[in-house]
């Protein structure tokens, strides 16, 4: 039997996806021919924004390359436009005079950008933003011209504007409405967005109607209806799109705004179907890929003669692809009488959330600043969920793997392609996937706007967990090398390497200067291996460890002075109070580690403040011993069996300033009630009658883990000896940035126990520990005493100028 002939007009995102679905269902049913006006294989139009922003290139946004057409025996006519359809004769005619018969015809002609019919619109410096050609034109203009004006403050216009900024142009955005993205956002969100984009460098002209594009020959500017003129060399029109229906209309296929289709994407003409932005379904024309892909699925089944659910329309959500700005909007977003809203507005952090409710059901949402709840809200809106379902699933502050872990299986992870968490997890498990690229290949997730990539990556980590970790042992320490931690440490030892650059050179790093992962790691390993001779490289330290203070989000610092065992006195408190007043410290807070934290200190004030305090650094910023938390103990507590304070202070005095793979927290409690929380510390000591128990590998943070009993000893001296050996063993064998909770699990508690049981081994470890401790100095004192350090690290150059 000869195959039936299927012809697709429009080689774009919706049409070709539908063909993919057809091939998946019935690889051999049709002989397929595709016509596309553009001279390229099907590419990802969405990513044009990112091409313009310089994050990817045109050659990287191809979705189906030439091979794909060949492998699937599809005859593609690129750069060829269908100019007429003869629905009676079931035949199409192209601009190159080609005639092709069809049994089934799919129209997927997309949209055309709407160009304002104003004088000057035909000038060479005026562009739309729809296809590769437009994109190339803008990139080209940016090379020789400075000023761009974008007409239209919607999604497309703002993405174009961001791109032009990245290309080094000055950008004005002209918008008819009184706030941005007025179709997706309410006024509050629109204004927050504007503020953010102004910070990024855009200029806005709101409530302005462009009357004319002025200029002699080339573009010189815009003239508004109020007479104002804005200079511009390039004008981008992003005022909207209209369905591309001319061909259908001319061929007698009924159209309204778009080509009219029913719930199975059939037009009113037999054997002619339409899908994508050119189609109008139940009065709606869509302009985002998610609904178009849903339509394509239904059409594929219908065309293959399989039973399918009807397409009933889609609830869409939008997100803006401009870095540094997170905006989400879905469903109905405008308030009116019967609609109630739930709003959260945090002006300080620039976060806004509005949820719209009708008859107790969630019908829409707008998010600004933090869009992590977007997928969840879209799911709730789609199923018309009760508002309680939202409020009860209380927003968790979780991120990363614990966030994806908390999601239900039916949660959509990739909005564009409608791929759920369940589908992705299942694919990872059953098909042995280990990378986001593979997930994309198998499930379509991440194949369009790419916004879901972080979630997909988290899902991989969450699903593979241990298996990824097992592979981890063979993991290179970072992308700059193929060597693992053990191989690097071994090479440093064997070859006697003495500084980070030498390590990178000798061991053939792929980058000349390393990265923010390997530099601090190498700096740590070098110092651990040779504490006496190694000269710590402050430029390879994270900011906090270089500055000896914790940087805050606004660039100020926090200062935590040492208080051994969490014990202080009136004199210290008075000094702290005086300093806080003198430097106008905005926030004083007690930490979880029983210390006092002075937050919001200016960089320049740090050394002066330390001098006034005259207390040692509390190392609250360091990969180092943070604090030894203690309970009151036998001297005051009626349950106390041991001197926990004395024990804690002794430990803290001995091990302070020590450099460790990650932070180390300790605690000493005087009885099993554990008031100092010894059960969730890297090393926790618990006093019992006549003895001390040592617990290890506990963690009260992201990876909550109860500590394991390492051993029970009698005296304070023994506690010190065991602690020293344990910490040194951790220092020598852990990966940089591996907390003891992970390390204990990786090494195995029994292995650690058996190493530390041996007195001789403990002595050797303690000797090396003591050596490392001998060279440590209080860094605050060093800064106070050295004008060089103060100048190099803490001083800001200030040049007062009058730029007028």
Ligand X SMILES: Cc1cc2nc3c(=O)[nH]c(=O)nc-3n(C[C@H](O)[C@H](O)[C@H](O)COP(=O)(O)OP(=O)(O)OC[C@H]3O[C@@H](n4cnc5c(N)ncnc54)[C@H](O)[C@@H]3O)c2cc1C
Task: Give the nearer residue to another protein in terms of CB position, either 199 or 344.
Answer: 199
Instruction: For residues 1 and 304, give the distance between their C-alpha atoms in angstroms, rounded to a whole number.
Output: 16
Taking CA atoms, 781 is separated from 86, 233, 610, 628, in Å, by: 88, 58, 8, 22
Q: Using CB under 8 A, which residues numbered 537 to 556 contact another protein? A: 538-543, 546-547, 551, 553-555
Q: What x-and-dash track marks residues 291-330 binding ligand X by CB under 6 A?
A: -x----------------------------x---------
- The one of ligand FES, another protein, ligand X, none whose footprint includes residue 276, by CB under 5 to 8 A per kind, is ligand X
Total residues contacting another protein (rule CB under 8 A)? 43
Task: Give the nearer residue to another protein in terms of CB position, either 446 or 645.
Answer: 446
Q: Does 508 bind another protein (CB under 8 A)?
A: no
Query: Strand, coil or helix: what is 65?
Result: coil
Q: How far is the CB of 355 from ligand X (least distance, A)?
A: 22
Q: Does 291 bind ligand FES (CB under 6 A)?
A: no
Residue 213 near residue 235 (C-beta atoms within 8 A):
yes
Q: Which region, judged by CB under 8 A, interacts with another protein, from 120-128, 212-220, 528-536, 793-801?
A: 793-801
Q: What x-and-dash track marks residues 22-61 binding ligand X by CB under 6 A?
A: -------------xxxx------xx-xx------------
Task: Give the nearer residue to ligand FES in terms of CB position, either 316 or 713.
Answer: 316
DSSP letter at 793 equals I
Beta bridge partners, 259, equal 255, 279
Taking CA atoms, 259 is separated from 249, 309, 324, 736, in Å, by: 8, 21, 38, 61
Q: Identify the CA nearest to 213 among candidates 186, 195, 194, 231.
A: 231
Q: What is the DSSP string of 436-463?
A: HHHHHHHH-TTSSS-TTHHHHHHHHHHH
Taking CA atoms, 799 is separated from 46, 606, 607, 802, 803, in Å, by: 44, 21, 22, 10, 11
Q: What x-and-dash track marks residues 485-504 binding another protein by CB under 8 A?
A: --------------------
In the list 116, 151, 165, 414, the residue contacting another protein (rule: CB under 8 A) is 165
Residue whose Cβ sits closest to ligand X? 12
Q: How far is the CB of 538 from ligand FES (least distance, A)?
A: 42
Beta bridge partners, 684, equal 667, 695
Q: How far is the CB of 105 from ligand X (least distance, A)?
A: 12
Those residues whose C-beta lies under 8 Å from the C-beta of residue 312, and which sit 6 or more positions away, are: 263, 282
Q: Does 324 bind another protein (CB under 8 A)?
A: yes
- The one of ligand FES, ligand X, another protein, none whose footprint includes residue 663, by CB under 5 to 8 A per kind, is none
Q: How far is the CB of 218 from ligand X (least distance, A)?
A: 24
Q: Using CB under 8 A, which residues numbered 591 to 610 contact another protein? A: 603
Q: Does 662 bind ligand X (CB under 6 A)?
A: no
- The count of other CB atoms within 10 Å of the CB of residue 717 is 10
Task: Give the nearer residue to another protein in terms of CB position, either 71 or 792.
Answer: 792
Q: How far is the CB of 260 from ligand X (least distance, A)?
A: 16
Query: Crossing angle of helices 716-733/644-655, nearest 10°?
Result: 40
Burial class (CB in 10 A: 0-12, 13-18, 19+), 160: buried
Q: What x-and-dash track marks residues 444-473 binding ligand FES by CB under 6 A?
A: -xxxxxxxx---------------------
Task: Give the nearer residue to ligand FES in terms of CB position, either 446 or 576.
Answer: 446
Q: Using CB under 6 A, which residues numbered 462 to 501 contact ligand X? A: none
Instruction: For residues 537 and 66, give the distance between their C-alpha atoms in angstroms, rounded to a whole number.
Output: 51
Q: Which region, judged by CB under 8 A, interacts with another protein, from 26-34, 260-268, 461-469, 513-521?
A: 513-521
Q: What x-and-dash track marks residues 387-416 binding ligand FES by CB under 6 A?
A: ---------------------------xxx
Residue 119 near residue 213 (C-beta atoms within 8 A):
yes
Q: What is the DSSP string of 512-566?
A: SS--TTHHHHHHHHHHHH-TTT----GGGS-HHHHHTSEE-TTS-EEE-B--GGG
Task: Give the nearer residue to ligand FES in terms of CB position, either 447 or 626.
Answer: 447
Instruction: For residues 24 and 18, give the distance between their C-alpha atoms in angstroms, rounded to a whole number.
Output: 10
Q: Does 102 bind ligand X (CB under 6 A)?
A: no
Instruction: For residues 409 and 406, give the distance between their C-alpha atoms in angstroms, rounded to a whole number.
Output: 9
Q: What x-and-dash track marks residues 35-64 binding another protein by CB under 8 A?
A: ---------------x--xxx---------
Sign of the CA dihedral with 717 first, then 722, 725, and 728 last: negative
Instruction: For residues 382 and 364, give the distance between their C-alpha atoms in angstroms, rounded to a whole number.
Output: 9
Q: Does 156 bind ligand X (CB under 6 A)?
A: yes
Instruction: For residues 703 and 738, give the distance between their C-alpha atoms in angstroms, rounded to a whole number.
Output: 12
Q: How far is the CB of 556 from ligand X (least distance, A)?
A: 37
719-743 burial, b if ≥16 CB within 10 A, otherwise e?
Answer: bbbbbbbbbbbbbebbbbeebbbbb
Task: Give the nearer residue to another protein in terms of CB position, either 570 or 797.
Answer: 797
Q: Does 157 bind ligand X (CB under 6 A)?
A: no
Q: How far is the CB of 554 from another protein (least distance, A)?
A: 8
In whole angstroms, what separates CA 762 from the centre of its chain? 44
- The one of ligand FES, ligand X, another protein, none whose footprint includes residue 802, by CB under 5 to 8 A per kind, is another protein
Q: Does 276 bind ligand X (CB under 6 A)?
A: yes
Taking CA atoms, 784 is separated from 565, 624, 781, in Å, by: 25, 21, 5
Token pair recorded at residue 580: 């806080």
Total residues contacting ligand FES (rule CB under 6 A)? 12
Q: What x-and-dash track marks residues 434-453 binding ligand X by CB under 6 A?
A: ---------------x----
Residue 146 near residue 162 (C-beta atoms within 8 A):
no
Q: How far is the CB of 729 from ligand X (least distance, A)?
A: 51
Q: How far is the CB of 113 from ligand X (least distance, A)?
A: 8
List of residues contacting another protein (CB under 8 A): 50, 53-55, 165-166, 200-201, 323-324, 453, 511-516, 519-520, 538-543, 546-547, 551, 553-555, 603, 791-793, 796-803
List of residues contacting ligand FES (CB under 6 A): 414-417, 445-452
């Amino acid at each position: 039997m000869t195959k039936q002939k299927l012809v697709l007009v429009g080689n774009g995102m919706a049409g070709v996806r539908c063909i993919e679905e057809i091939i998946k269902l019935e690889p051999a049913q049709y002989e397929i021919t595709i016509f596309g006006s553009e001279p390229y294989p099907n590419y990802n139009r969405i990513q044009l924004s990112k091409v313009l922003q310089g994050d990817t290139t045109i050659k990287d946004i191809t979705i189906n390359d030439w091979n794909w057409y060949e492998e699937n025996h599809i005859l593609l006519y690129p750069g060829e436009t269908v100019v007429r359809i003869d629905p009676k004769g079931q035949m199409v005619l192209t601009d190159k005079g080609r005639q092709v018969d069809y049994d089934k015809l799919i129209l997927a002609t997309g949209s055309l950008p709407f160009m304002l019919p104003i004088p000057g619109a035909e000038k060479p410096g005026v562009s739309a933003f729809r296809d590769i050609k437009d994109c190339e034109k803008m990139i080209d203009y940016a090379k020789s011209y400075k000023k761009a004006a974008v007409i239209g403050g919607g999604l497309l216009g703002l993405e174009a504007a961001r791109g032009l900024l990245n290309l080094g142009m000055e950008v004005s955005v002209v918008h008819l409405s009184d706030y941005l993205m007025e179709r997706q956002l309410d006024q509050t969100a629109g204004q927050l967005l504007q503020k953010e984009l102004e910070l990024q460098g855009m200029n806005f002209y709101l409530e302005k109607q462009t009357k004319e594009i002025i200029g002699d020959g080339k573009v010189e500017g815009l003239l508004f209806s109020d007479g104002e003129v804005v200079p511009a060399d390039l004008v981008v029109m992003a005022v909207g799109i209209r369905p591309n229906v001319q061909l259908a209309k001319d061929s007698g296929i009924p159209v309204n705004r778009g080509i009219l289709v029913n719930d199975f994407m059939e037009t009113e003409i037999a054997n002619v179907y339409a899908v994508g932005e050119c189609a109008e379904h139940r009065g709606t024309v869509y302009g985002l890929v998610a609904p178009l892909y849903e339509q394509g699925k239904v059409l594929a089944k219908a065309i293959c003669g399989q039973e399918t659910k009807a397409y009933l329309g889609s609830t869409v959500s939008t997100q803006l692809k401009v870095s540094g700005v997170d905006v989400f909007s879905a469903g109905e977003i405008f308030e009116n009488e019967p609609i109630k809203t739930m709003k959260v507005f945090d002006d300080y952090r620039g976060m806004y959330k509005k949820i719209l409710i009708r008859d107790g059901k969630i019908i829409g949402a707008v998010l600004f600043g933090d869009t992590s709840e977007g997928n969840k809200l879209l799911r709730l809106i789609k199923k018309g969920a009760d508002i309680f379902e939202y409020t009860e699933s209380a927003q968790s502050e979780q991120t990363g793997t614990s966030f994806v872990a908390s999601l239900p299986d039916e949660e959509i992870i990739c909005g564009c392609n409608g791929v759920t968490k369940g589908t992705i997890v299942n694919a990872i498990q059953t098909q042995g996937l280990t990378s986001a690229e593979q997930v994309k290949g198998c499930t379509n997730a991440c194949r369009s706007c790419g916004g879901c990539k972080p979630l997909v990556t988290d899902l991989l980590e969450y699903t593979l967990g241990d298996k990824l970790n097992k592979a981890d042992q063979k993991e290179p320490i970072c992308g700059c090398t193929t060597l693992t931690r053990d191989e690097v440490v071994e090479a440093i030892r064997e070859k006697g390497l003495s500084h980070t650059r030498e390590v990178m050179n000798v061991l053939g790093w792929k980058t000349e200067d390393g990265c923010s992962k390997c530099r601090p790691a190498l700096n740590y390993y070098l110092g651990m291996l040779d504490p006496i001779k190694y000269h710590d490289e402050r430029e390879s330290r994270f900011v906090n460890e270089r500055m000896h203070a914790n940087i805050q989000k606004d660039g100020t610092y926090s200062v935590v002075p040492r208080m051994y065992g969490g014990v202080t006195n009136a004199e210290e408190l008075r000094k702290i109070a005086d300093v806080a007043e003198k430097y106008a410290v905005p926030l004083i807070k007690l930490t979880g580690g029983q210390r006092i934290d002075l937050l919001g200190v200016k960089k320049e004030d740090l050394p002066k403040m330390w001098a006034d305090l005259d207390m040692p650094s509390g190392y609250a910023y360091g990969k180092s011993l943070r604090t030894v938390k203690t309970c009151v103990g036998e001297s005051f507590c009626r349950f106390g069996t041991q001197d926990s304070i004395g024990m804690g202070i002794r430990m803290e005095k001995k091990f302070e300033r020590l450099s460790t793979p990650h932070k180390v927290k300790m605690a000493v409690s005087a009885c099993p009630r554990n008031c100092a929380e010894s059960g969730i510390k890297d090393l926790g000591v618990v006093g019992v009658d006549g003895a001390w128990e040592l617990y290890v590998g506990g963690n009260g943070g992201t990876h909550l883990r109860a500590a394991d009993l390492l051993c029970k000893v009698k005296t304070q001296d023994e506690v010190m000896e065991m602690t020293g050996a344990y910490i040194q063993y951790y220092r020598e064998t852990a990966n940089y940035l591996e907390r003891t909770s992970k390390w204990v699990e990786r090494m195995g508690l029994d292995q650690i126990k058996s190493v530390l049981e041996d007195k001789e081994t403990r002595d050797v470890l303690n000797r090396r520990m003591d050596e490392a401790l001998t060279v440590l100095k209080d860094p605050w004192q060093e800064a106070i005493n050295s004008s060089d350090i103060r100048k190099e690290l803490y001083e800001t150059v200030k040049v007062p100028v009058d730029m007028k």
